């Protein structure tokens, strides 16, 4: 309960500080062991707990009037993700869309009625993006290197 109260307060504060943004990005990546290879101690949500907490956190964003935006790479391996995922969240990938398996999963999410903002790493990702339904793609993020 204290953790939930803190997260809810941080979402409200972010909404106020950033002058009522249209979207609040809640993360939800880095929820697997591969993202924490060096640490001696790691705690992460998995499976059904991940999905329930995604919905709970999204409800706190909705309370502010903003729309939830989240990475959903963790869910690539979740069997029931498309069945259970909230359709009102905007989803972004971090893994490369030029990877056929990743593109197919991302495409399924868009076809299931979810809005998306694809993250493009390279021109090959842009080529894959051209195959997605434009009405569900709200924009793109692009990797920029100096």
pLDDT digits (tens, 9 = 90+) for 35-84: 656 767 666 677 678 788 889 999 999 999 999 999 877 666 666 777 77
Q: Read off the pLDDT of residues 102-137 as tens digits, 9 standing for 90 and up.
A: 888 888 888 888 898 888 877 777 777 777 767 788
- Cβ proximity of 132 and 111 under 8 Å: no
pLDDT, residue 34, reads 61
- Residues ≥6 apart with Cβ < 8 Å to 29: 35, 71, 73, 74, 94
User: Residue 115: helix, strand or coil by DSSP?
Assistant: strand
Q: For residue 120, what is the enclosing H or E element?
A: strand 119-120
Q: What is the largest CA-CA distance in the chain?
A: 45
pTM reported for the whole predicted model? 0.80
């Amino acid at each position: 309960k204290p953790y939930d109260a803190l997260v809810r307060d941080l979402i409200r504060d972010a909404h106020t500080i950033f002058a009522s943004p249209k979207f609040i990005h809640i993360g939800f990546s880095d929820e697997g062991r591969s993202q924490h290879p060096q640490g001696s101690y790691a705690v992460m949500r998995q499976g059904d707990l991940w999905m329930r907490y995604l919905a709970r956190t999204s409800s706190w964003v909705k309370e502010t009037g903003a729309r939830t935006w989240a990475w959903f790479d963790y869910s690539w391996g979740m069997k029931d993700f498309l069945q259970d995922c909230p359709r009102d969240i905007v989803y972004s990938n971090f893994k490369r869309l030029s990877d056929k398996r990743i593109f197919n999963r991302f495409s399924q999410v868009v076809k299931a009625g979810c809005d998306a903002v694809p993250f493009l790493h390279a021109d090959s990702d842009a080529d894959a993006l051209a195959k997605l339904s434009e009405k569900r793609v709200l924009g793109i993020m692009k990797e920029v290197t100096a």
